[in-house]
Protein backbone atom coordinates (compact mmCIF):
# COMPACT_ATOMS: atom_id res chain seq x y z
CA UNK A 1 0.00 0.00 0.00
CA UNK A 2 2.84 2.42 0.77
CA UNK A 3 4.15 2.14 -2.82
CA UNK A 4 0.75 3.25 -4.13
CA UNK A 5 0.68 6.26 -1.81
CA UNK A 6 4.22 7.25 -2.83
CA UNK A 7 3.23 7.41 -6.52
CA UNK A 8 2.12 11.05 -6.63
CA UNK A 9 0.63 11.82 -10.02
CA UNK A 10 -0.33 15.50 -9.86
CA UNK A 11 3.04 17.00 -10.80
CA UNK A 12 2.37 17.22 -14.54
CA UNK A 13 -1.03 18.96 -14.50
CA UNK A 14 -1.39 22.27 -16.40
CA UNK A 15 -4.55 23.47 -14.65
CA UNK A 16 -5.78 22.93 -11.13
CA UNK A 17 -9.12 23.17 -9.38
CA UNK A 18 -9.52 25.89 -6.78
CA UNK A 19 -12.18 25.30 -4.12
CA UNK A 20 -14.15 28.13 -2.51
CA UNK A 21 -15.36 26.78 0.82
CA UNK A 22 -17.61 29.81 1.34
CA UNK A 23 -19.82 28.99 -1.65
CA UNK A 24 -19.61 25.18 -1.43
CA UNK A 25 -22.95 23.52 -0.57
CA UNK A 26 -21.34 20.12 0.14
CA UNK A 27 -23.36 18.26 -2.47
CA UNK A 28 -20.22 16.10 -2.93
CA UNK A 29 -20.75 15.72 -6.69
CA UNK A 30 -17.04 16.52 -7.10
CA UNK A 31 -16.11 13.70 -4.72
CA UNK A 32 -18.39 11.24 -6.51
CA UNK A 33 -17.04 11.99 -10.00
CA UNK A 34 -13.34 12.65 -9.30
CA UNK A 35 -11.45 9.85 -11.11
CA UNK A 36 -8.37 10.35 -8.93
CA UNK A 37 -10.06 10.40 -5.49
CA UNK A 38 -8.45 13.80 -4.92
CA UNK A 39 -11.44 15.41 -3.19
CA UNK A 40 -10.91 15.27 0.57
CA UNK A 41 -14.09 14.67 2.60
CA UNK A 42 -14.34 14.41 6.37
CA UNK A 43 -17.55 13.83 8.31
CA UNK A 44 -19.64 14.24 5.15
CA UNK A 45 -18.16 17.62 4.23
CA UNK A 46 -15.56 18.60 1.68
CA UNK A 47 -12.39 19.82 3.36
CA UNK A 48 -10.07 20.34 0.39
CA UNK A 49 -8.31 18.94 -2.64
CA UNK A 50 -5.29 16.64 -2.52
CA UNK A 51 -3.08 18.20 -5.19
CA UNK A 52 -0.53 15.38 -4.90
CA UNK A 53 -2.89 13.16 -6.89
CA UNK A 54 -5.12 15.63 -8.78
CA UNK A 55 -4.37 15.55 -12.52
CA UNK A 56 -6.34 18.72 -13.31
CA UNK A 57 -8.94 17.07 -15.53
CA UNK A 58 -11.62 19.58 -14.49
CA UNK A 59 -14.40 17.07 -13.89
CA UNK A 60 -14.93 18.40 -10.36
CA UNK A 61 -15.45 21.95 -11.69
CA UNK A 62 -17.74 20.68 -14.46
CA UNK A 63 -20.07 18.82 -12.06
CA UNK A 64 -20.20 21.61 -9.47
CA UNK A 65 -23.72 23.09 -9.60
CA UNK A 66 -23.84 26.06 -12.02
CA UNK A 67 -25.19 28.55 -9.48
CA UNK A 68 -22.60 27.52 -6.89
CA UNK A 69 -19.26 27.56 -8.79
CA UNK A 70 -17.43 26.40 -5.66
CA UNK A 71 -14.72 24.80 -7.81
CA UNK A 72 -13.15 26.65 -10.71
CA UNK A 73 -10.11 25.78 -12.78
CA UNK A 74 -7.04 28.02 -12.95
CA UNK A 75 -3.69 27.69 -14.69
CA UNK A 76 -1.14 25.81 -12.62
CA UNK A 77 1.52 27.97 -11.02
CA UNK A 78 4.96 26.40 -11.28
- What is the reported pLDDT for 11? 73
- Over the chain (78 residues), what is each successive 10-residue block's mean pLDDT? 63 90 98 97 98 95 96 89
Q: Which residues contact 16 (CB under 8 A, 6 or more apart)?
A: 49, 51, 54, 56, 73, 74, 76
Q: How many domains does the chain have?
A: 1
What is the domain range of residue 15? 2-75
Q: Is-contact 58 73, C-beta < 8 A?
A: yes
CATH number, domain with residue 31:
3.30.70.20
Residue-level pLDDT at 8: 78
Amino acid sequence: MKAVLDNKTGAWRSARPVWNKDTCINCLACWIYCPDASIVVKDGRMTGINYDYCKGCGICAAVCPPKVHAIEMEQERK
